[in-house]
Chains A and B, each alone.
Chain A
Amino acid sequence: MDIKSIAKVTGAATVLLLSGCSGAFSTLDPAGPAAGSVLPLTLAMIIVALAVFVGLIVLCVFAVRRNSKDISDAEVQRLQNRWIIAGGIALPTVAITTLLAFGIPIGHSLLPLPFQEGEVMRVDVKARQWFWRVSYPERKIELTDEIHIPVNTPVDFHITSEDVIHSFWAPRLGGKIDAIPGRTNVVRLEADEVGEYRGLCTEYCGQGHTAMQFKVIAHSAEDFEEWLLQQEDSDKND
């Protein structure tokens, strides 16, 4: 096989892989800072996990193949301490520390902390069997299964439920949060580009669970203002 065909195969594989990663619900195709910051963590963890896995399998094959002559008990004792301390204690400790070094800053960046100046835009979402009721505080806008937000603006979604427990998830924008009766949970999401993003309920909530989907529509700043005015107009006309 010459270099050209290798390149071709690799290219084709990459295209296949990338197209395989996209999709309206794909966490591997992020469209906002929350989902975007988790993706490198995901990939890093997959690589580390696979490396550890392959290492262990190789070690196992090697251990089985070795077919030792009788080792003395003293040697086994040394082997035991070396392997168990290195593999059983040091390996997980190092792996966990590395993961945390990656993970903690990402966790921090996802916290819905108050801004130094001004307010975060807020959208209220109330889950019901089996739809999402969306409202914008201080504006008389009520929507169902559809959320409009401005692009490149952090939005705090205040999520609660009016009946059973649901879970609010727009995978390309960021992580999920449960909708629980009697509580309000906040998740901060932001869209990088104008467009339509799909979301769904991930906590089993009864027979309409599958159909309980919603859309997040990100507008440019001007379009969003216009949309708000439109909505309030139509509200007055009603």
Chain B
Amino acid sequence: MTEQEALHQRFNKVWRNLPGWGTLAAVNHTSVGRRFMLTGAIFFLIGGLLALLIRMQLALPGQEFLNPDVYSQVFTMHGTVMMFLFAIPILEGAAIYLIPKMIGARDLIFPRLGALGYYCYLFGGIIVISSLLLGMAPSSGWFMYTPLSSTEFSPGPGSDFWLLGITFVEISSVSAGIELVVAILRSRTPGMTLSKMPIFCWYILVTALMIVFGFPPLILASILLELERAAGMPFFDVAAGGDPVLWQHLFWLFGHPEVYIIFLPAAGIVSTILPVFTGRPLVGYRWVVMAVILTGFISFGLWAHHMFTVGIPQLAQAFFSMASMLVAIPTAIQVFAWLATLWAGRVVYSLPMLWVFGFLFVFVLGGLTGVMLAMVPFNWQVHDTHFVVAHLHYVLVGGMLFPLIGGLYYWLPHFSGRMPSERLGRWGFGLVFVGFNATFFLMHLTGLLGMPRRVDTYETGFGWDWLNMLSSVGSFVIAMGVAIIIIDVLLHFRFGRKAGNNPWNADTLEWTTGTPPTMYNFASLPEINSRHPLWDNPELLQSIPAGEHGLTQIEHGRRETFGTDAITGKLKEVMLLPTNSWLPLLVASSLAVVCISLLTRSYLAAVVITIVAAIFLFRWSWENGGHPLAAPLGDKEPVEAPLQSRTLDGSGLWGMVITLLADGALFLALLFGWLYLWAVAPNWTLPDESLVSLPVMAWSGAFLTFATWWYCRAVKQLKAGDDTGLQTRFWVVTAAGAIHLVLLVGVTLVSPLAITELAHDAVLLVMLMFLIFHSSISVIATALQALRVRYGYVSKELPYEPVVLQPLWLFSLATFWCSVASFLLLPIAWGAA
């Protein structure tokens, strides 16, 4: 056995998944990422079959192949599956798989969170799909507009399946988003400054942050609608002072960024592949970074362009119209950066490049019709016609599926160590490309000829017949192409020729992890001084697996990777990564049971299982820091840098802050809903005096303020290296927080809120529940901290955790007083003025 093999054996023993069923306890990002992508691909096939059903129904006028009920379920599920169960998860899966390998880390920062995300996605997806098999799928469109999706007009459980299942999947998306942000910022290999990151990481960083801010509005909207359906709280009911258009705002506040959340990672794949096959670094790296950042922001300012026909004043429409057109600038910057790269380099025609060319062709066309649709008078004509269907498929299939399959072919040798068949691959591309354009190009004309969306059939004689026939034929050509690609991929595992280590002569670090990759990615973590490490320093391919770089000790049996400064990439600490764990599966399973109990309206069971899930989660948080299952003090400390549980600025703090950003976005969405209903809803009524006792709220807030202040003082002392009396201080904070919580719960229970009659009261209840939820977590977590001090898991040598909890207290405090000011005091002040 060579030295390198021995090293591999030692690392593999620590990093491998458990054998047999134990593989379900895997937390490793390579396993989790693969599972995400495989599951996403299966959902893609399901969504594709639904699309074929739609096209069969519309192939000829006056068909009754599907009845209107089934048809509505089919088109709703097609959109839902493709958007929520395919596009986002599969791209997240790709990011989860690739990002640590590109930035030179051995795993993602929060491996258990990644595994939890996968199981939430899997179970949520199964719940949503099962509705289809039970014949009770949601049927009011993937956008679920109220009041069509409300109990009155959708009495069956279809909407509940959507709301609960998709929210479950969104938990997974948000957790992956948080994990990716922190991983990219804090676990790059030493020397990789922001400006030396592979361009793909910039795309994923921005995308992940967009997920963090973009998903909470939809999560809130789903919670509100489910509360309306299950408990009769009338947020979207005009008669009770709600407004159905609030749903549209919240939905598109998520829905438009979502389009870019899907597009950006795919564009990142293009920006990664193009330089490899032109042999030139990406032209205009800085410009592209700038464009990506701008896209991330501007895409949040376009949501109302889905709502040009709801009767918003023209001036407001003009704002959104202009913002929609402006997003063409960052997109055009990227397109011209790609063209300039093609110009400067020498193009190698290979399968991934074919898909990149297909992407450019299709996506540019979709972008151009997008600018057309931003034009308000034109939008009034073609909105909700097949013109929009054509546009969105050009943007989403062109902007996401084409780069994704390009990426699949590019990284296939990395997954399997074998090359795909060039001939089959070309056939697959040709059929998908031709079929796609046959299906959707003339569909623009179908729309201009007035064919609306979501009709289950149509009469003959409007000029729509041959266009629909053509689209249907085209859709089956796409299906053939997809089938060939699947065959190609399946066959290559058996017949593909061996790929070798870096078959495309790529520039990024993931190609040094072996083909197929080892479970620990890198036996040694290199110092990086270049944006294109493998081009400038090809010997890394040998020296990394040979263990010639950093962090090679493994005898302690811990999974470790380097933690570095977010900006400069300077080495700061050694991060301890958790090993295989059943907790993610247990938590996700119990949440799935909660989901099913809510669906079957057995609320008592739901409450009990929620408590079980919470216990699992707190157990999860228990196995950290100085816990014997983590890294107790004095257990073969690393030599390069301190273990992060011995530091103050660890990844947990970053994870907490990013989570609170998502949480804050949810709170802002709630605040927006409140102010929106107040300003716009025709039957909104404010009571003459506050329904919630202000003195009690003031007392409750006083205790919360004290608890937070005392907690911050304790942390300050701990940071100064003094842990005397720490446990007592935490108990004092727990007690003060508990009093605050009791007062808050009490005031919620005694307030005379007519939650089923008035939207106003219903929103107040949601606000109070939000506060109770956050305060409870703060209090319980602090009590656990006090216990951990007692057991010696937290001390001045192990100061990591109290620092993590501090932002949560500050967040609870800020949202509490913000809520008091805007939900309770502002109406009084307004009434007095």
B and A form one assembly? yes
Could you tell me which A residues sit within 8 Å of B by CB distance? 20-28, 35, 37-38, 41-42, 45-46, 49, 52-53, 56-57, 59-60, 62-64, 66-68, 71, 75-76, 79-80, 83-84, 86-89, 91-93, 95-96, 99-100, 103, 106-107, 110-111, 129, 163-165, 167, 169, 171, 174-178, 180-183, 185-186, 200-210
- The contact string, 1 if C-beta is below 8 Å from chain A, for chain B 121-149, is 00000000000000000001100010110
A163-B343 in contact (CB<8A):
no
Shortest Cβ distance from A145 into chain B, in angstroms? 15
Interface contact A174-B380, CB-CB below 8 Å = yes
Are A64 and B147 within 8 A (Cβ)?
no
**In the complex, what residue of chain A is closest to B454 when comparing beta carbons?**
A204
Which one of A103, A106, A171, A182 contacts B682 once the chains associate, using CB atoms below 8 Å? A182
Docked Cα-Cα span, A71 to B147, in Å, equals: 61
Q: Of the candidates B148, B283, B334, which one forms a contact with A79 in the assembled complex, judged by CB atoms under 8 Å apart?
A: B283
Docked-complex contact A68 and B346, CB < 8 angstroms: yes
| B455, A209: Cβ atoms closer than 8 Å | yes
A103 near B377: Cβ-Cβ < 8 Å: yes
Residues of A within 8 A of B364 (CB): 53, 56-57
A60 and B243 CA atoms in complex are apart in Å by 49
- A67 vs B280: C-alpha distance in the bound complex, in angstroms? 12
Looking at the complex, which of B226-234, B445-453, B781-789 is the stretch in contact with chain A?
Answer: B445-453
The answer to whether A210 touches B68, judged by C-beta atoms less than 8 angstroms apart, is yes
Within the complex, the shortest CB–CB distance from B695 to chain A, in Å, comes to 36
Given A86-B336, A165-B145, 9 new contacts (CB under 8 A)? A26-B449, A26-B450, A27-B448, A38-B378, A66-B343, A110-B380, A164-B148, A206-B148, A207-B69
Given the complex of chains A and B, what is the CA–CA distance between A121 and B753 in angstroms? 45
Residues of A within 8 A of B372 (CB): 42, 45-46, 49
- Closest beta carbon of chain A to B293's beta carbon, Å: 14
B339-363 CB contacts (< 8 Å) to partner A: 339-340, 342-347, 357, 360-361
CB contact between B448 and one of A26, A52, A91 (< 8 Å): that residue = A26
User: Are A41 and B375 in contact, with the CB atoms below 8 A?
Assistant: yes
* Distance of A123 Cα from B300 Cα, bound (Å): 38
B270 CB to nearest chain A CB (Å) = 13
Chain B residues with CB under 8 Å of A24's CB are 450, 461-462
Q: CA of A62 to CA of B342 in the docked complex: distance in angstroms?
A: 9
| A57/B449 in contact, CB under 8 A | no
Could you tell me if A88 and B332 are in contact, using CB atoms closer than 8 angstroms?
yes
A167 close to B340 (CB less than 8 A)? no
A35 to B332, CA, bound (A): 31
Which of B153, B343, B379, B449 makes the CB contact (< 8 A) with A25? Answer: B449
What are the nearest 9 A-B pairs in CB distance?
A175-B380, A25-B450, A182-B238, A88-B333, A87-B336, A185-B311, A49-B368, A63-B343, A63-B342
For B451, list chain A residues within 8 Å (CB). 25
B399 to chain A, nearest CB (A): 15
Contact with A along B321-336 (1 / 0, CB 8 A): 0100110110011111
Given A22-B463, A176-B380, answer yes or no on A80-B454 (Cβ-Cβ < 8 Å). Answer: no
Assuming the A-B contacts A53-B368, A165-B148, A183-B311, are A27 and B361 also in contact, with contact meaning beta carbons closer than 8 angstroms in the complex?
no
Specify which chain A residues have a CB less than 8 angstroms from the CB of B342 in the assembled complex: 60, 63-64
Q: Which residues of B contact A169 (CB under 8 A)?
A: 452
CB neighbours of B287 from chain A (8 A): 80, 84, 88
**Which of A92, A167, A177, A200 has the most C-beta atoms of chain B within 10 angstroms of its own C-beta?**
A92
CA gap between A26 and B681 in the complex, in Å: 36
Q: Which residues of B contact A28 (CB under 8 A)?
A: 448-449
Range of interface residues on B (Cβ < 8 Å)? 35 or more
Chain B residues lying within 8 Å of A52, measured Cβ to Cβ, are 368
Report yes or no: A180 in contact with B457, Cβ–Cβ below 8 A.
Answer: no
Q: Are B337 and A203 in contact (CB under 8 A)?
A: no
B779 to chain A, nearest CB (A): 41
Interchain CA distance A217-B534 in the complex, whole Å? 72
Residues of B within 8 A of A100 (CB): 322, 325
**Interchain nearest-CB distance for A193 vs B (Å):** 18
Are B371 and A41 in contact, with the CB atoms below 8 A?
A: no
Give CA–CA (A28, B450) in the complex, Å: 9
Write out the residue numbers on chain A whose beta carbons fall within 8 Å of the beta carbon of B309: 167, 175-178, 203
A68 CA to B346 CA in the complex, in Å? Answer: 6
B735 at the interface (CB under 8 A from A): no
User: Whole-angstrom distance between the alpha carbons of A206 and B149 in the complex?
Assistant: 9
Q: Least Cβ distance of B312 to chain A in Å?
A: 10
Contact partners of A41 in chain B: CB under 8 A: 375, 377-378
Interchain Cβ contacts under 8 Å between A and B, 10 examples: A24-B462, A26-B450, A28-B449, A46-B372, A53-B368, A56-B335, A80-B287, A176-B384, A180-B311, A207-B68
Q: Are B463 and A92 in contact (CB under 8 A)?
A: no
Q: How far is the CB of B62 from chain A (nearest CB, A)?
A: 11
Q: Contacts A41-B375, A68-B344, A76-B344: A60 and B147 contacting too (C-beta < 8 A)?
A: no
Let me know if B325 and A37 touch, CB within 8 A.
no
Query: Which B residues are in CB contact (< 8 Å) with A171?
Result: 381, 450
Encoded as 1 (CB less than 8 Å from any A CB) or 0, chain B from 183 to 222 comes to 0000000000000000000000000000000000000000
- Asked if A88 meets B335 with Cβ closer than 8 Å, knowing A165-B244, A178-B311, the reply is yes
Residues on the B chain within 8 Å of A185, using CB: 310-311
| A residues in contact with B325, CB < 8 Å | 92, 96, 99-100
User: Which residue of chain B has the shortest Cβ distance to A105 in the bound complex?
Assistant: B377
Q: In chain A, what residue has the closest Cβ to B324?
A: A96
Task: Evaluate contact between B380 and A68: CB separation under 8 angstroms.
Answer: no
Q: For residue B238, which residue of chain A has the nearest CB?
A: A182
Q: Cα distance A111–B68 when bound, in Å?
A: 36
Min Cβ gap A163→B in Å is: 7
Q: Nearest Cβ distance between residue B384 and chain A, in whole angstroms?
A: 4
A89 with B332, Cβ < 8 A, contacts A68-B344, A79-B340, A204-B148 known: yes
Q: Which B-chain residue is minimally distant from A199 (CB atoms)?
A: B450
Asked if A92 contacts B450 (CB within 8 A), the reply is no
* A68-B346, A180-B310 known; A92-B153 Cβ under 8 A: no
Residue of A nearest to B368 (CB): A49
**Bound form: Cα–Cα A21–B194 in Å:** 54
Query: B369 contacts the other chain (Cβ, under 8 Å)?
Result: yes
Give complex CA distance A165, B251 in Å. 15
Q: How far is the CA of A92 from the CA of B333 in the complex (A)?
A: 10
Whether B381 lies near A42 (C-beta < 8 A) is yes
Q: Which of B406-461 contact A (CB under 8 A)?
A: 445, 448-458, 461
| Cα separation A24 to B309 with both chains bound (whole Å) | 22
Q: Which residue of A42, A63, A164 is within 8 Å of B339 (Cβ)?
A: A63
Q: A66 CA to B68 CA in the complex, in Å?
A: 54
Question: Which of B68, B148, B381 contacts A35 (CB under 8 A)?
Answer: B381
Given A37-B377, A89-B332, A176-B383, residue A202 in contact with residue B314 (CB < 8 A)? no
Nearest B residue to A20, CB-CB: B463
Known contacts being A88-B337, A99-B325, A163-B153, is A203 close to B145, with CB within 8 Å?
A: yes
- CB-based contact A38/B381 at 8 Å: yes
Q: B residues within 8 A CB of A71?
A: 344
Q: Is B521 located at the chain interface by the 8 A CB criterion?
A: no
A209 to B75, CA, bound (A): 14
| Chain B residues, CB < 8 A from A22 | 463
> What residues on A are CB-neighbors of B496 within 8 Å?
none
